Structure 1
Amino acid sequence: MWREFFGPKARIIGLDFNPAAKRWEQDGFEIHIGDQANPQFWQEVFAKIGKVDILLDDGGHTFEQQIVTVCEALPHVRDGGLIAVEDTHTSYFKDFGYPTPYSFIEWTKVIVDNINSRFPGINQPFSKLPYKDSVFSLHFYESIVGFKIRRDICVPSHPVSNGAPTRQHEDFRNKDSLIGTVEERSNALSRRLAFLRNMPFLWRTLSAAKRVAITAVGRYYHKARLRRLRHLF
């Protein structure tokens, strides 16, 4: 099937736990026997075969096998390449360990965090993991997860401008809300107490108190709004 799909010039390499799979070498395939959950096995294989364009995991489907496979393969997939993991529904099988925070699907959510943590200014633990520098995008299908490898474009996003003048804008996100009311009143108070600018210590104290108040109200307000979304999760 794969020979017909990729064509006669494709180099197709198979990895299997069963030594009997070596018989497929007579049909022109390269076969390596070993445990896909063993990082050393992967290192030995890639030392022999070099980099690949596509890696398709249709192995034992355990969380360890799937996660180790992707982790070990990432450095050896060429830019523009793809890693596809099949039968990811096993992340929801009790026989495979569900429920657990360490399933394959739960792990892919960390990759999603990595992808979105490229935005400048985000300094969270997941933004320091290596996946964000190689996995450009994730594609979720029924029982399949695809990893698109594009190191050349795994870079932080930056705002762009055409250089033209912009009109004065106003932030309407918090208008007519508790946060907006607090911001409006604190700004009005700052204007009334503007004379305190000549007293640096008092002015800094007032400014700090203003920031603390707005932050506290903002957290309370957003938590209250998020409770409305519980039924959607």
Structure 2
Amino acid sequence: MSLYGIFLNNSGRPIHKSGHYFFAYERHFGRFVGQPVIFLEIGAGNGGSSQMWKRWLGPLAKIVTIDINPVCQEYSDEQIFVRIGDQSDHGFLQSLIDEFGRPDAVLDDGSHQMTHVTETFDFLYERIVSNGVYMIEDMHTAYWPDYGGGRGDPRSMVERFKGMIDDLNADHVRDGTVSSSRFTEQTIAMTAYDSILVFEKAPIINKTMKMIGDDSLRVNY
């Protein structure tokens, strides 16, 4: 069954998701289905989403869910591991990596406060696996001042995302205004949807290889 089908047929704990999110979920997380993936979910909600991910990703997946509400501990089971802590606490995030290993996929559905979103991203993105996926949802909040955002506000993750497109392509900038960084080296794609931002990593060799196969396809830099 598709992830969206699982969502529509849910009869367990409530799941609160916008319907159009499932296009992005299935597109970016679909390659992990049936694999021994470490899926880090930030924000437990009512516990229904972790069950949805478990059912879709399969029995080899390890769902690690974090929340600040101790009540969420009751959502744990043999495949879902709930840990209580602040998503912007780097020490707490490191403890998750120490316990479970580097995540293959991260879904930030936590507080949606811009300070929390950026603190979490700055620590975790560098530490997910080399071909991992990092998704931040409900980014309509990036336009809301009460979440620390606003159109054009530099604190907004959406505004930051816009600038990071230049970082993604820094190797091709010839005027010296953008310098290549670890983000440039590690990131192969950035995708924006209505209320969702996605970052995809790839092994560095895949980005540094200038030519594969036919000489006629070479691009001269």
Deviation, 1:120, is 6.1
Alignment partner of 1:133 is 2:185: yes
Contact 1:140 1:146 in 2 (8 A): yes
1:108 partner amino acid: F
Higher helix share: 1
Cα distance between partner residues in 2 of 1:35 and 1:151: 30
Contact 1:118 1:156 in 2 (8 A): no
Q: Which of 35, 58, 61 is 2:109 aligned to?
A: 58
Alignment partner of 1:162 is 2:213: no
With CA pairs under 8 Å and 6+ residues apart, which has the higher RCO, 1 or 2? 2
Aligned to 2:160: 107
Shift in CA distance, 120/96, structure 1 to aligned 2, threshold 3 Å: closer
SS of the equivalent of 1:80 reads coil
SS of the equivalent of 2:179 reads helix
Shift in CA distance, 86/123, structure 1 to aligned 2, threshold 3 Å: same
Aligned to 2:176: 123
Contact 1:137 1:148 in 2 (8 A): yes
Aligned to 2:133: 82
Q: Which of 97, 106, 125 is 2:148 aligned to?
A: 97
SS of the equivalent of 2:54 reads helix
TM-score (norm 1): 0.62
Deviation, 1:21, is 1.1
Q: Which moved more, 1:114-123 or 1:39-48?
A: 114-123
Aligned to 2:70: 19
1:142 partner amino acid: D
Aligned to 2:97: 46
Deviation, 1:146, is 0.8
2:85 partner amino acid: G
**Percent identity of paired positions between Structure 1 and Structure 2:** 26
Shift in CA distance, 107/77, structure 1 to aligned 2, threshold 3 Å: same
Q: CA RMSD in A?
A: 2.3
User: 1:139-170: CA deviations, max 9, x gaps?
Assistant: 10011111111133233868x9639xxxxxxx
Contact 1:74 1:134 in 2 (8 A): no
Aligned to 2:30: none
Unaligned stretches of 5+ in structure 2? 1-51
What is the aligned residue count? 161
Alignment partner of 1:10 is 2:61: yes
Unaligned stretches of 5+ in structure 1? 164-233
Shift in CA distance, 88/127, structure 1 to aligned 2, threshold 3 Å: same
Cα distance between partner residues in 1 of 2:109 and 2:149: 19
